[in-house]
Structure formats: C-alpha cells, structure tokens
Amino acid sequence: MIQSKRDNMKILITGGAGCLGTNLIEHWIPQGHEIFVLDNYATGKKAALPEVDGLTIVEGDIQDKSLVSECFEKFQPTHVIHSAASYKDPDDWEEDVRTNILGTLNVVNACREHNVKRLINFQTALCYGRPEVVPIPVEHAKNPFTSYGISKTAGESVVMNSGLSAVSLRLANICGPRLAIGPIPTFYQRLQAEKSCFCSDTVRDFLDMSDFISLMDIVMKEDSPCGTFNVSTGVGNTIKDIFDEVVEHLGITKDIDVPIVPVGEDDIQAVILDPSKTEEVFGWKAKNSFKETIKKQLQWYDKYGVTDIYSHLSEPKS
C-alpha cells in the first residue's frame, strides 16, 4: 500500500450534501481537515450537513462560473472532490450538459487557477454503455447512450485532460448512510408500506461505504497515481437478490410474487466493474460481502428511515 505523510487538507467538495459527500465529511472533519461544500441541493440535503467547526457551506451551482471562482478564492483548497452531478431527470439533456460538462469545466479551471494539489472526480459506471465483457475492465471502450452517461463521460474527459493531478473513480453502487437512489431504498419503503414491487432483470455490484472511504484516504495522497479507476467488489448480484434481502430483513413471511421485468431501453442488463487495476495500483480491496453491505444499509434505514428516492432511469412504460 502507498504510504505518505500529509498535512491537514483543505478539501472543497462540490455536491457535498449528497450521500458520498456527507459520509466523507463525517470521516474527515474529526481528523482536523477543513472542508468547504458547494451544493445546490437538487438531490443533496442541507439538513444532512452537520453544524461543526471546520465545515463551511455555500448554497449554489457549479454552473455559476463566478460563484465557483469566488468559493475557490475564499477557501483556497488544497484538494477538490468533484461529486456534483445532474441526473434526476433523464429527459433534461440541457441541465445535464450545463452541470456535468460546463460545470465541470468551471471546477477544473478554478483548480488550475488556484494550484489545487489533487482533484478527485466521481464518475458513473454508465460511461461504458452496454459492455462487451463483464466484469468491465477500466480499459473497456466508453460508449454511453443516456443524457447522464454521455454528459458525465464528457466531464470526465475534461478532468483527465486538464493537466491537473487528477483521479477519476468509476463507481459501483455505493451503499451507506443517506443512500437515496436505486432499488434498496425503493424496496425498503414500498415493502414497509405493503405496496407492490417489481424487479428489473439486471445485475449490479454493490460496495460498502467503509470500503469506498478506505480507498478515498489513499487516492487523496498527492504522491499516489493519477488516472481512471473502477471502484467495486467485482461481484454482481441481481435486483431480485436485493429484493430477497429486504424481504428477509423486514421479517416478511408471506410469499410475494414479484414480477421480473425486462431491461428498459435506457438501462443495461449487467454492470459489474472489474476492480483489479485499482487493487493492484493502490493495494486496496473491498472487505465487505454483499450480504454484509445490504444488511448495514437496511439497519441504517431502520434507524433513520428513507426520505427521497431518485433515479437516472425513465419510468417504465406500462
């Protein structure tokens, strides 16, 4: 594993009120790092940000070039995590382009201007489109076909051709506190309310938040390698597997005839990322199994509940 000593960081997180950003804040603030959050709360929650020393919060949009420049000038970050993304309306191509491409360009230009030591970009696994091989190696051709996937892939290209010390992490489905997207919160909420469910005929990989954070601690080091990396367990499970875990967790004993529906036009049958390059380069490997990851997620919902649920997919046609 790569080892290096680093001073306390000044970390600017775009989209820091989302699931990933808030978990990173809770991890790093107690260590003495200073954090600055810029978020428009389109999908993140202001209430999820703790009122603690060392955390500065500004409501705003990365589309606003002057605001981005002002935030960088005020905070003078040493490290930037670019987590902000537009995805909640799959038909709003203009919003996705403005945020995921032009907004990313604003962040990259500000990083250049202020000599940021490290830029971490969060990328969607949808950048690969419909893969030719599964698990998907990081060298696989990029062929996105949705508004979210296309705009995020263009944004990643902006980051990786910026000349900055940059890493782009292509993420599996990361599970942890405040997860508000995907089948896990959907099934939990609907089954508790005794509502009907369906499972898409798809396979995904699921990564525990603690494993994600352990990798983030490594890639934030300024002497660690740059490049693009898959972040996952490399193990796939069906959406029906998720459904069954939720049913068992909620103690539902009656048989539920849940329909398995075909893959939608804007969806992909199997998205499982191959993390072998990441494991080799960073000496990192996911430790939590699928069942452990889902169990922890559901226990969090038991305590805190499900609020919002978002999706980058269109509603299935009846």
Query: How many Å is the maximal CA-CA distance in the chain?
Result: 61
- Percent of the chain topping pLDDT 90: 91
Sequence spans of domains, the chain: 10-175+207-231, 183-202+235-304
Closest by CA position to 271, among listed 64, 111, 123, 65: 123
Looking at residue 313, its pLDDT comes to 43
pLDDT tens by residue, 11-39: 999 999 999 999 999 999 999 999 999 99
pLDDT tens by residue, 127-169: 999 999 999 999 999 999 999 999 999 999 999 999 999 999 9
CATH class of 183-202+235-304: alpha beta
Looking at residue 167, its pLDDT comes to 98
Looking at residue 7, its pLDDT comes to 76
Looking at residue 113, its pLDDT comes to 98
Q: Which value, to the nearest 10 degrees, does the dihedral of the CA atoms of residues 80, 93, 175, 248 take?
A: 170
Instruction: Please give the Cα distance from 128 to 274 (Å, whole number).
Output: 12
Mean pLDDT of the chain: 94
Give 170: exposed, middle or buried? Use CB within 10 Å, 0-12, 13-18, 19+: buried
Pair of tokens at residue 294: 């889902």
Closest by CA position to 16, among listed 47, 1, 38, 48: 38
Rounded to an integer, the average pLDDT of 213-223 is 97
pLDDT tens by residue, 258-295: 999 999 888 999 999 999 999 999 999 999 999 999 99
Looking at residue 310, its pLDDT comes to 56
In this structure, the number of other CB atoms found within 10 A of the CB of residue 192 comes to: 15
pLDDT tens by residue, 79-107: 999 999 999 899 999 999 999 999 999 99
Rounded to an integer, the average pLDDT of 249-264 is 94
Give 132: exposed, middle or buried? Use CB within 10 Å, 0-12, 13-18, 19+: exposed
CATH class of 10-175+207-231: alpha beta
